[in-house]
């Protein structure tokens, strides 16, 4: 019996597929948008900052990519329903969802108000649930399978610093949600996986460091962190985007319920 073996080009191609990337305007999200679009996907840049999303979409469209900006508050059920419905209206299908939207305001628990905790959980965990459910319903009805990629964090496995208890709770939750949803959706040929980034140089991280939100000298904290990264550097958004492209493509044809750690070896130390 002869088994067809697709080429590497075929395996990595997303031509004809439609993807949604939440938090896609900047940082890791933008890196993922760029790689998925490069692989041939039509990509929705979903973000609460519509101007930034439109700027990203315009720049990529000038490069010949099929990209559309949409406003989305991932913690709002009506917004998420509209996001997926408008994506279907644009390209007639949704094949890939990347749940990347997330916030990480740093504050110790003893100084944290209930609304501070709720705001992080709303975006980082409720948003993953809402977007995954809405997209999976469409993927199931298409009868062609799909891919859901949740961007978690190494904090889903081990805390990185004091001040991120609410963030860590949300990321542990997202990792647990990933595994259980993978079980539920496998019969529908929808694979659900996660990426756990380490320290990635993004505008959000830069802002937190410059504001001294970590409770100490930002440069000293960064140097101490990097001293424990075997690769001795911060990651860049494209490091995460490459993993997302792998999980979104047919290269990951027999992978579900997994979490890929992309941290330069940080957890090893």
Question: What percentage of the chain's residues is helix, strand, coil (to nearest 5)?
Answer: 50, 15, 35
**Degrees to nearest 5, angle at CA 52 with 103 and 165:** 5
DSSP conformation class of 262: E
Residue numbers annotated as active site: 167
Dmax over CA atoms of the chain, in Å, equals 66
User: What is the C-alpha end-to-end distance of the chain, expressed in Å?
Assistant: 48
Kind and range of the H or E element at 36? Answer: helix 27-38
Please state, in angstroms and rounded to a whole number, the distance separating the CA atoms of residues 11 and 246: 9
């Amino acid at each position: 019996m002869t088994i067809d073996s697709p080429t590497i080009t075929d395996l990595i191609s997303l031509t004809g597929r439609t993807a949604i990337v939440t938090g896609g305007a900047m940082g890791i999200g933008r890196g993922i948008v760029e790689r998925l679009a490069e692989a041939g996907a039509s990509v929705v840049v979903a973000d609460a900052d519509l101007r930034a999303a439109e700027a990203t979409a315009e720049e990529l469209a000038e490069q010949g990519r099929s990209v559309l900006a949409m406003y989305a508050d991932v913690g709002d059920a009506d917004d998420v329903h509209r996001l997926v419905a408008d994506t279907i209206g644009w390209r007639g299908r949704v094949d890939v969802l990347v749940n990347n939207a997330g916030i990480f305001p740093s504050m110790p628990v003893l100084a944290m108000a209930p609304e501070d905790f709720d705001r992080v959980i709303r975006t980082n965990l409720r948003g993953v649930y809402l977007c995954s459910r809405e997209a999976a319903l469409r993927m199931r009805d298409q009868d062609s399978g799909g891919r859901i990629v949740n961007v978690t964090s190494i904090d889903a496995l081990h805390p990185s610093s004091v001040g991120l208890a609410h963030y860590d709770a949300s990321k542990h939750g997202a990792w647990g949600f990933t595994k259980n949803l993978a079980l539920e959706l496998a019969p529908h040929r929808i694979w659900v996986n996660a990426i756990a980034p380490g320290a990635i140089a993004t505008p959000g991280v830069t802002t937190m460091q410059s504001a001294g939100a970590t409770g100490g000298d930002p440069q000293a904290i960064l140097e101490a962190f990097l001293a424990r990264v075997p690769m001795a550097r911060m990651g860049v958004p494209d490091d995460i985007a490459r993993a997302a492209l792998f999980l979104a493509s047919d290269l990951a044809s027999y992978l579900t319920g997994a979490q890929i750690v992309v941290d330069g070896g940080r957890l090893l130390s």
